Structure 1
Amino acid sequence: MSALHDTLYRHDQLYTLAESAVTCYPENAHGMVTELCHSENATYRVDTPDGNRFAMRVHRTNYHDRTNIESELAWLDALRSAGFEVPQAIAGNDGHYVQSVQNGHDIKRNIVLFKWIDGVMPSIDVDMTAFQQLGAITANLHNHSRRWAKPVWFKRLVWDHETMVGAQGHWGDWRNTAGLNGLHSRLINEALCRLREELLGYGKGEQRYGLIHADLRLTNLLILGGTTRVIDFDDCGYGWYMHDLAAALSFIEHHQCINNWIENWLKGYEVGGHLDDRDIAMIPTFIIQRRIQLLAWAGSHAGTKQAQELGVEWVAQSAALCERYLDDKMLSL
C-alpha cells in the first residue's frame, strides 16, 4: 500500500498545492485556505473575502481516477435532484468539476471544490436517537440507488469480500497491522472462513447489493434545523446494502452500547425501507467483515493520527470480536 499512500503525509506540499488549486476556479471562490483534516484525502476550507465558504478535497493518488470521481459527482447531482441535502461541486474555470493540479514537488492530484454545508455532527455520546436519523437517511439512499438509472460511463469501486478483506483489498492486507499475534490471526482467519460462506449464501441480488455510500457513519452527517445532510461520498461504490449499517459502527463495534445503536438504526431504517429476517440475521457477519476491513485500513494508514490513536488494545478487541462471532455471541438482538 505504500504506492497508494506515497504522498499521504506531506502536509506542507499538499497545502501549497491546495493554495494553487484555488486559481482553477472563478474569482468568487478565491480565498484563505485552512486545513480541516488529512487522512484519506486532504480536505481544506476556503474562506473568501465576501464571506463565502467552500470545502476543497485534494484526492490521494492511485485510488480514484477521473471517471470514478465524476461518477461520484453524478450520483450527488442525482441525489440533489431527488431532494437530498448532499454536497454540490463547483465547476472550475474550464467548466469541469474535477481539476488536476501539479506543483513544483511533482505531486499531481485531482481536486474537487464543494459548496460549504453547515450543520452539527451528531454524537453517540449525546443522543442515542442519532442512529435513528442515520438509519432513516440510509434507507432513503438505498431506495434511490435501486431506482436510479446510472450513466453508461458510470464507474465506482466494488466493495465485495475480496476487495474489503482480501490480501489485495482496496485498503491493504489486514495481516500487515501492527500488534497482531498468532492467536489474533487464527481467530481472524476462522472468522473470515465463516463469513465468506455466509456471504455466498446471502448472495448479491438487486435488493441486497448495489450502489452504497460505504462509509455512512455519524461523522458523515450534518444536522441543521431538523434537516440531515449526508457528506463524504468518496468511498461510495458497489456493495451490500447492509454494509452501510456495519459502516455506521466503524471502530466502535466492541462498544457496550452496540445493541442499542443497532436497534435505533433499524427503527429509523424501517421508516422508509424494509429489511427481512435474512438481512437482520446477517448483521453480525457484516459487522465483523467491516472490522477486519478496518484492521487493513489501520495497517496501511499506520502513520495517520487516527490509526495511531486506536492503539494495540483495539487490535486485541478486534480478535475478541471475531471469537464472539464464531461463538454466535457477538450480538443479542
Structure 2
Amino acid sequence: MIREIEEQFTEEILTEAIKRFDINNDTVRSLGGYESFVYEYQKNNAFFILKISHTIRRSRYNIRGEIEFLNFLSNKGLAVSNAVPSTRGNMVEEIAAENGSFLAISYEMSLGKEVSDEDWNESLYEKWGEFLGKIHHATKGYEWSNPAFKRHAWDQEVQLKAEKYLRPDDVMISILKERLTKLTSLPKSKDTYGLTHTDFHQSNFYLHNGDIYLFDFDDCGYTYFVNDIGITLYYALSYPFKEFENKTEYYKLFFRHFMKGYLKENTIQEEEIVYLQDSIKLRHALLYIYFHQANDVSNLDEESMNWLKELQRVAASDDPMLPIDFVQEFKSIYNSIH
C-alpha cells in the first residue's frame, strides 16, 4: 500500500463509504488490499465488494473509465464483475481527505471459487489464454463515451516514474528507461495495442463451473497486447499454484496451451512475441520500484534487504528471466493449428 494513502485512511472514511452504499456494517469483512482497501459485504442475500481507493492513484473520471470498460466487456458476453451504484445513484462516491479524496466503488462479488492447485492444469491454461484473447479481440472495437473517461497508457503508470522513488544512483533508473524504449518501438495499431486488463493473474479471477470469472480492473489501461500477455506469463510462470519438478517443461506446457487458447480468439504476430521476455522483465522491475514506493527501505531487516538486492539483480540483468524460447514455441503452436 502506498504510504501516503495508508496514513490518511481512517475508520471515519470507511464508515462514510458504508453509509453511502447503504451497507449493514455487521456484514462487512476486510479482504486486505494491495493498492486499495477492499472489503466484502452482504446485501439482499448476495455478496458484494467495496473498494476504497485514493486520488493519489486514480481520479474519479479514471474510475468511471474502468466501469465503462467493464460494462462494455460484459455486454460482449465476458464474465466480469460489474459495478453497482450507491444510494445516490453514483458509480463512484468521493470522500474528502486531508490530501485529496478517497474514492469508493462497489462491485458484484464474482461467482465461483479461488483457483487451487487442483485446477492448475492444461485445461485452465487454455481457458486463460482464450479469455485474454477475447478481451483483446473485443477492445479493438472499444470507444470511450467521454474523453475524460479515457484510461491511462501503460507507460504513464506511477511506478514507472522511477526517479521519484529510487536513489539517483540506482541502476534501475537507466535500466527501466532502456526497457521502456525497447517496448515502445513496437508499432501501435488496433491489432497490437488497446485497452485491456493489464493485471490478469491467478488471484484476479475465480472459476465458476469450470469457467473464468474475471475481476479487479483497477489497473486496466492501454498497452500492447504482447505486454498484456507478458504480465500474465510473469505471474503464471513465476508463481504457479503448484510445484513442478521440471520448471522449464512447465513453462513450455503452460505457454503452448495458453497460446492455443489465445489464438482461438485473437491473432498475434511472431514479431510481437519477440518482446515477451522484455515484458516479463519489465514487470519484475516494477515490483522493485513498487517496493520502494510502499516501504521505507532504509529500515529493512537483513532478509528483506537481501530479497530486494536479488530482485534488483534479476531485473537489471540482460539475461532472460525464464529459460524458454517463446518465438520458437510460438512457431510450433502456430504451425500446429494452421
Normalising by structure 2, we get a TM-score of 0.79
Matched, 1:101 2:95: yes
CA contact (8 A) 2:114 2:203 kept: yes
- State the Cα deviation string for residues 221-272 of structure 1 (Å, max 9, x = none): 1111122111000011111111212221446765744444333321221121
> 3-state SS of the aligned residue for 2:198?
coil
Amino acid at match of 2:49: A
Question: Shift of the alpha carbon at 1:16?
Answer: 4.0
Instruction: Find 1:225's aligned residue among 185, 209, 220.
Output: 209
CA contact (8 A) 1:171 1:300 kept: no
- CA displacement at 1:152 relative to structure 2: 3.2
Distance 1:272 1:147, change over 3 A: same
Q: Select the residue among 230, 237, 243 that pairs with 2:227.
A: 243
| In 2: Cα distance, 1:107 partner to 1:311 partner | 32
Superposition pairs for residues 125-140 of structure 1, below 5 Å? 126-129=119-122, 130-140=124-134
Task: Please state whether the residue corresponding to 2:29 is helix, strand or coil.
Answer: strand
Which residue type is aligned with residue 119 of structure 1?
G
Match 1:60 to one of 54, 63, 83: 54
Q: Measure, in 2, the Cα distance between the counterparts of 1:319 and 1:251.
A: 19
Letter in 2 for 1:42: F
Q: 1:144 aligns with which of 138, 142, 159?
A: 138
Q: Deviation of residue 73 (structure 1)?
A: 0.5
1:30–1:84 Cα change, 3 Å = farther
Could you say if the C-alpha distance between residues 124 and 209 of structure 1 is closer, same or farther in structure 2, counting changes exceeding 3 Å? farther
CA contact (8 A) 1:174 1:295 kept: no
- Secondary structure of 1:291's match? helix
Q: TM-score, normalised by structure 1?
A: 0.80
- 1:173 aligned partner: 162
**Mapped pair 1:210 → 2:185:** no
Match of 1:24 among 20, 26, 31: 20
Separation of aligned partners in 1, 2:137 and 2:210: 21
Q: Which of 64, 89, 93 is the matching residue for 2:83?
A: 89
Percent identity of paired positions between Structure 1 and Structure 2: 17
Q: AA paired with 2:211?
A: T
CA distance in 2, matches of 1:75, 1:158: 14
Label 1:324 to 1:121 Cα distance change in 2 as closer, same or farther (>3 A).
Answer: farther
Q: Does 1:159 pair with 2:159?
A: no
Q: Distance between the aligned counterparts of 2:207 and 2:99, measured in 1?
A: 39
Is the partner of 2:128 in helix, strand or coil? Answer: helix
Find the counterpart in structure 2 of residue 116 from structure 1: 109
Q: Give 2:36's aligned residue.
A: 41
Structure 1: distance between partners of 2:175 and 2:279: 15
Distance of 1:174 and 1:246 partners within structure 2 = 24
Pair 263,81 (structure 1): closer, same or farther in 2 beyond 3 Å = same
The one-letter amino acid of 1:332's match is: D
Indicate yes or no: 2:35 matched with 1:51. Answer: no
Could you tell me which residue of structure 1 aligns to residue 274 of structure 2? 281
The DSSP-based 3-state class of the residue aligned with 1:215 is coil
Please say if residues 126 and 262 of structure 2, whose CA atoms lie closer than 8 Å, have aligned partners that are also in contact: yes
Change (3 A) 1:102 1:149: closer
Amino acid at match of 1:111: A
Deviation at residue 174 of structure 1 after TM alignment: 7.5
Counterpart-to-counterpart distance in 2, 1:258 and 1:33: 40
**CA–CA separation in structure 2 for the residues paired with 1:310 and 1:274:** 42
1:322 and 1:44 map into 2 onto residues whose CA distance is 36
Gaps of 5+ in 2: 240-246, 327-338
Alpha-carbon deviations, 1:268-299, whole Å to 9, x = none?
A: 21121122111221111111122212221121
Output the CA distance in 1 between the equivalents of 2:264 and 2:109. Answer: 29
1:99 maps to a residue whose letter is E
* Paired AA for residue 113 in structure 1: S
Aligned AA for 2:34? S
**Given residue 270 of structure 2, which amino acid in structure 1 is its aligned partner?**
D
| Number of equivalenced pairs | 312
What is residue 333 of structure 2 aligned with on the other side? none
